[in-house]
Amino acid sequence: MSAACQYATDVTDASWEVLPPLLPTPTWTPGGRGRPPRPLRQVVNGLLYVNKTGCQWRMLPKECGPWETVYGYFRRWRRAGVWERVMTELRQGERRCPGRLAAPSAGAIDSQSVKTATPSTDVGFMPDVMYSSCGQLSSPGRSPIYEAY
């Protein structure tokens, strides 16, 4: 990790060499409207921090930049399909390294079954109140819950 890394989620120098060509270039020009763009590495570090920790945007550490700015980049890139393109390029690059095709040619599905309750056992909150096949409540007797509906 470089000296600039402060969190375990920060992008390493080796990873950062791969990312910039995949990210959109800032369109701001000096003397133009708006604020100058944030350093993209700082923005990506903020995005990775939120992704890994699951914290609220407003709880983003100050080292990552203002949360509004980092969220703005995230929102624009999500809408423009940048994340999908980045993940596709990284996945295809990873697959090409060992000499495989960029896209998978086959898949496997696990057919493990999960056991559920047997039909003869009562399961749920109130076993005497049942649902009919059309989704309406039905009761074998006069249930006070049924009367409320």
Contact 47, 40 (CB under 8 A): no
**pLDDT tens-digit profile, the chain (149 residues):** 444 558 999 999 999 999 999 999 888 878 888 888 889 999 999 999 999 999 999 999 998 999 999 999 999 999 999 999 999 998 888 888 888 888 877 877 776 765 555 666 655 555 455 444 444 444 455 444 444 44
What's residue 108's pLDDT?
A: 76
CA angle centred on 28, ends 25 and 30, rounded to 5°: 130
What's residue 101's pLDDT?
A: 83
Name the pairing type of β-strands 130-131 and 137-138: antiparallel
Return the domain boundaries, the chain.
Answer: 13-96
> What residues pair up with 130 in beta bridges, in sequence order?
138
CA–CA separation, 48 and 34 (whole Å):
25
What's residue 68's pLDDT?
A: 94
Q: Which residue has the tokens 């049942």?
A: 130
CA–CA separation, 33 and 136 (whole Å):
60
Dihedrals phi, psi of 52, to nearest 5 degrees: -75, -45
What's residue 78's pLDDT?
A: 94
